[in-house]
Amino acid sequence: IEISFKLDEKDNKIICTILDTGIGIKESDLKHIFDRFFRSDNVRNKDIDGSGIGLSIAKMISINLNCKIKPYSVVNEGSKFEIIIPREIS
């Protein structure tokens, strides 16, 4: 996992990027990953622990802080999450 931060002065925001080179998420599952207890079939069929609640908590926190989370993923390549943080709250 790799985490980086970038200041976007033009749009007055901070972008936190989280890269994970794991198994990735199917495109059809991306719309559900923030649902509480959701686990993709490609994870349930492997020995990967988790309850499926982490991303739903992250989404609730981001909403309360007026942030946005954008997921990007390719199966067997990994995932990228961008957290867009308005500078007013940073």
Q: What is the pLDDT of residues 5-36, one digit of tens each?
A: 999 999 999 999 999 998 899 999 999 999 99
Strand order of the β-sheet with 78-86 is: 2-8, 13-20, 78-86, 68-74
Judge whether 42 and 36 are in contact, CB under 8 Å: no
> According to the model, what pLDDT value does residue 3 have?
97
The number of folded domains in the chain is: 1
pLDDT digits (tens, 9 = 90+) for 43-81: 655 667 777 788 999 999 999 999 999 999 999 999 999
Whose tokens are 């989404």? That residue is 59
Model pTM score:
0.83
Structure tokens at 83: 């957290």
Say whether pLDDT at 40 is over 60: yes
> According to the model, what pLDDT value does residue 45 have?
56
Which CATH number do you get for residue 11? 3.30.565.10
Residues 6+ apart with CB under 8 A from 34: 55, 56, 58, 59, 69
| Domain limits for position 6 | 2-89
